[in-house]
Chain A
Amino acid sequence: AQRVTQPEKLLSVFKGAPVELKCNYSYSGSPELFWYVQYSRQRLQLLLRHISRESIKGFTADLNKGETSFHLKKPFAQEEDSAMYYCALSGPGANSKLTFGKGITLSVRP
């Protein structure tokens, strides 16, 4: 069974502080990992995926297979980063469904 755990529900930081949103997963195989973001009054949308190995809006996430983690990081938080963030996992191949964590609310204070 595939499972995604986001241990914290809320993270509140000041502008300019580093951010790390934790995500751990359980999957027997080679998963694909994603981070989705939902800004206030906007749709849930893809932020980044591990296979792209890219930085989006200053965010990065590295897949650590040994620790089964995919933490989302940003060195200097901005107020506009305030949103709900979901970590998600999928198995490889077509017809693979996404399993989401419960999400974490990031609040960046001025």
Chain B
Amino acid sequence: DTGVSQDPRHKITKRGQNVTFRCDPISEHNRLYWYRQTLGQGPEFLTYFQNEAQLEKSRLLSDRFSAERPKGSFSTLEIQRTEQGDSAMYLCASSPGLEGPQHFGDGTRLSIL
């Protein structure tokens, strides 16, 4: 197993466009997390899944953001009608359970023109 995989690594798009990111967690991990990180800040929690169930969403996550994990394996994060403020690194992490440490993917860097 090569760890958490995210695709794409970089995404440049125009304001108003929709974007979708994919995350493949470590195979035996049942928890999957999405974070957003901007320069000089720690990762900001967006949402997490246990298997296919989305258990929590941050209040900071507007209705333009949606995440899915349809079969409890890979997950997608979609941002509709992107705005300048969406420019950030989007990180995915997985863990074997609540108490286990999270392992991060390399992230997807989103730039909004």
Are A and B interaction partners? no
Interface residues of A (CB under 8 A from B): none
